[in-house]
Amino acid sequence: MKSGRQAGRAPALIHQAIPSQAVAEFVMSSGYDGTIVDLQHGEVGLDAAVAMLRAIPRDRNEYAYARVGSLDPAPILRLLDSGARGIIAPTIETADQARALVEATKYPPLGGRSLGPSRPSLYAGDDYVAAGNSAVSAIIQIETARGRENAEEIFAVDGLDSVYLGPADLAVSYGLPGRGDWTEGPVYDAVLELSSMAHAAGLTFGLYCASPAYARDLIAAGIADYVGLGIDLVLLTRTAREAIESLRSTS
């Protein structure tokens, strides 16, 4: 998600923890704007992730994101060369960590990403390096109290594009239940605070939402520029549970 407010409808992305090219294709055809291929949680390995990214149509891959498990530049490079348009780095707590993400994600002079012909014409433009830096988003995930405390310094790092908030882990860092969709307390306060700070720094702001209604309210209020809406495994489990409970219901 590039810096600055996005015009029109706020994008909705699904977290994809199932290592499947078909899921990526079906999600995109269902109306979602993009996917977050999750290498941090779930069973998606690097080889599966690059195949999933290639399954997303090139004309609809603006929000083909990958959440990595670490700031190791090697897998980040492979994900980008396979078509990832954004890298989400979880548990960012310092400006140095944010700079490491930019270094791995952006071409010089912003970062140190290497040029490599993994896919033809990946970025359109006369200046391929500038086009690549514009097309790819460096996204920091704030999900701890420490990350929130250091937000001002982190958000000032040159080359960042967006902030993504992880409400469940942030809640745990405050000694609260690990869930999302908070409407009060320190997690909700952090949502409001970090959204305002991100926008002031020229960054977009998104967060994971479990409920479409909750996501809609944040978007309508101008708090969220985009949302992660649901996890494929959770949605599959919920649908399966509802189906079997309906079959076996005696009412």
Catalytic machinery residues: 41
Type of residue found at 201: A
First vs last C-alpha separation in the chain:
47
Distance of CA 16 to the CA centre of its chain: 11
Could you tell me which of 25, 91, 30 has the C-alpha nearest to residue 53? Answer: 25
CB 165 within 8 A of CB 191: yes
In the numeric block, which tokens belong to residue 104? 């791995």
In the numeric block, which tokens belong to residue 53? 């990214």
Could you tell me which of 66, 215, 136 has the C-alpha nearest to residue 205? Answer: 215
